[in-house]
Structure 1
Amino acid sequence: MKIVVLSDTHLPKRKKGLPARLLEELQDSDMILHAGDWQTIDVYKDLQSYARVEGVYGNVDDHEIIGLVPFKKMVEVCGFKIGITHGHGKGKTTKKRAIEAFEGENVDCIIFGHSHIPVNRYEGDILIFNPGSPTDKRRQKQYSFGVFFVSDKIVAELIYFDEV
């Protein structure tokens, strides 16, 4: 199963639409996971035309998104439990807030956003993943998003690209 992992799309504030490099990967995706800061419901609707969409809201999302998706969510894929949260809040780092959101829960992977800083590493047995942003790289060298290939394991990859 191929899953495209996104966060911090911030559309239409940062860009007019989803970038071409991301659209390529969406073409054959089986699922899309979004870790918040969609900005508007239009992003959700656009992504639905490619695959099933699961996600959470972030700190800049409008009332329509907040009414549609939760603050945190657990999605099961091929027997793996994937926790999703945006990671915003007070105190601690974004990563620590994301990990604490699923404390005490049986989780194989935690996806978060907010910082726009890509992360792809294990802490113990848990994959900690932040896809960065495909539209607002901030202080990063490139835009980014993630792709998971899930079968008997999760193979996570960060996709980096320059604006086209």
Structure 2
Amino acid sequence: MKRIGLLSDTHAYWDERYTKYFEDCDEIWHAGDIGSLEVAQKLAAIKPLRAVYGNIDGQDIRKVYPQINRFTIEGTEVLIKHIGGYPGNYDPSIRGSLLVRPPKLFISGHSHILKVKFDKTLNMLHINPGAAGIYGFHKVRTLVRFSIEDGNFKDLEVIELAEK
């Protein structure tokens, strides 16, 4: 079993509570718009970090993190891309990949809207953790934690940090 801490859209903002909420996780995943290498390094100091770059990220971050991160963990294929859309309205930049070879879990950010939705057509769970930073139109900053065990998801928690 792996416990995952998930966030997106930090936009270079660091909150010490990331440490508190992710210290018991096995890995931290960032779905893009990290904003600064310093934020990525602080997250990686807590637990191993898997991340993708987002549309606001500069070359420094793009040199370290890919646009698409596809991997298998606990028997589960995962695909992370910052701009991805959601079930029924996937972004054209990823739609073909999802239709041809859907992962079991698709994670995206960008919208700043927390969403957890199962795509019955592709037999795939989609998670957008909302935004953990202070920039953007969202009213509440959010993180997500969940577990993956033998290809199954469980114990999903949404953590509301506060109004931004």
State the TM-score, normalized to the length of structure 2.
0.85
Q: Which residue in the other structure is 1:160 paired with?
A: 160
Q: Which residue in the other structure is 2:15 paired with?
A: 18
Percent identical among aligned pairs is 27
Does the 8 A contact of 1:32 with 1:54 survive in 2? yes
Q: Is 1:36 matched with 2:37?
A: no
Give me the whole-angstrom Cα distance separating, in 2, the residues matched to 1:23 and 1:106: 32
In the TM superposition, residue 35 of structure 1 has moved relative to its aligned partner by 0.7
CA RMSD of aligned residues (A): 2.0
5+ residue gaps, structure 1:
89-93
In the TM superposition, residue 29 of structure 1 has moved relative to its aligned partner by 1.3
Where in structure 2 are the equivalents of 1:1-164 lying within 5 Å? 1-11=2-12, 15=13, 17-20=14-17, 22-87=18-83, 94-95=85-86, 96-97=90-91, 100=95, 101-124=97-120, 125-136=123-134, 138-152=136-150, 153-155=152-154, 156-163=156-163
Q: Which residue in the other structure is 1:91 paired with?
A: none
Give me the whole-angstrom Cα distance separating, in 2, the residues matched to 1:19 and 1:163: 15
Corresponding residue SS for 2:39: helix
Give me the whole-angstrom Cα distance separating, in 2, the residues matched to 1:8 and 1:104: 28
Counterpart residue identity of residue 4, structure 2: I
5+ residue gaps, structure 2:
none
State the TM-score, normalized to the length of structure 1.
0.85
Does the 8 A contact of 2:8 with 2:33 survive in 1? yes
Give me the whole-angstrom Cα distance separating, in 1, the residues matched to 2:94 and 2:57: 21
